[in-house]
Chain A
Amino acid sequence: MPVPVTIRIQQADFDIAREIAALTAGRTDIGAVVSFSGICRGSEKGEIIAALTLEHYPGMAEAEILRHAETAMSRWPLTGLTVVHRVGRIIPGENIVLVLTASAHRQAAFQAAEFLMDYLKTNAPFWKREESAAGTSWVEAHDHDDAAAARWTKP
């Protein structure tokens, strides 16, 4: 049976419980679901953030997430996978991204979720712009995110 994969990019918020229920409905082969949610922080380096605006590259964003989903499925025995990434204006406290990984056992689910998030950060074509009292500015990429993604390529 093919592994169910859901990838969505949307402006609207998502409901984590509903996404998990959709992933596991009618299944008895799933023993573990790991859920990661990325949430908009209200401050960055001591500065108050009013909102983030997320821009993406339609078409490539979905393709890039699917490529990493396929890599994750080839590396771990996953039985289901969901990625939802929001775009548009997001205020502190709101969800930005959701990754769900399902497997028979927890270890694969934990590792695949972390792998997917590390690659989403550095390779999926999304860009954040921050609004603060000082105006708006594009968020700069962090070296530690590149390092987090690179560790998965080590033997």
Chain B
Amino acid sequence: MKVKYFAWVRERVGKAEETVEPPASVRTVDDLMAWLAKRGEAYAHAFETPRVIRAAIDHAHVKSDTVIAGAGEIAFFPPMTGG
């Protein structure tokens, strides 16, 4: 699946997007954040406080306990500050 990062999550990870293939045990958005956090120092820093990070699946906001099966694109970003 494709993963996208925005704002300070993107800066901390050091890339805007990538394709990842997590194992089947990674079921939810929360699981995915925990799995990504183990990919290295930059990821650990980006996902050190997962409760503040928002997620979207295929362009729609989702809660962190949402199951990711079937997702084409998952995005992680801080709370929004537009307008």
Contacts of A145 in B (CB 8 A): 83
B18 smallest CB distance to A (angstroms): 16
Total chain A interface residues with beta-carbon distance under 8 A: 29
Number of interface residues of B (CB under 8 A): 16
B68 within 8 A of partner (CB): no
Number of A-B contacts (CB under 8 A): 73
- Interface segment, B21-29, B31-39, B40-48, B71-79? B71-79
Cα A124 to Cα B59 with chains together (Å):
11
Asked whether B59 lies within 8 Å of A127 as measured between CB atoms, the reply is no
Does residue A100 face the partner (Cβ distance < 8 Å to B)?
A: no
Q: Mark A137-152, 1 if CB is under 8 A from B, else 0.
A: 0111100010000000
A97 and B78 form a contact (CB under 8 A): no
B49 within 8 Å of A (CB atoms):
no
Which among B8, B82, B83 has the highest number of chain A CB atoms within 10 Å? B82
Q: Which residues from B are CB-within-8-Å of A128?
A: 81-82
**Is B56 engaged at the interface, CB distance under 8 Å to the other chain?**
yes
- Kindly supply a per-residue 1/0 record for chain A positions 109-144, scoring 1 wherever the CB is within 8 Å of any chain B CB and 0 otherwise: 000000001001111111111000000001111000
Q: If the complex has contacts A57-B75, A57-B77, A59-B59, are A124 and B83 also in contact, measured as CB distance less than 8 A?
A: yes
- How distant is B51 from chain A, measured CB to nearest CB, in Å? 13
Q: For window 76-117 of chain A, which residues contact chain B by CB distance below 8 Å?
A: 85, 96-97, 117
**Do A125 and B78 touch across chains, with their CB atoms under 8 A apart?**
no
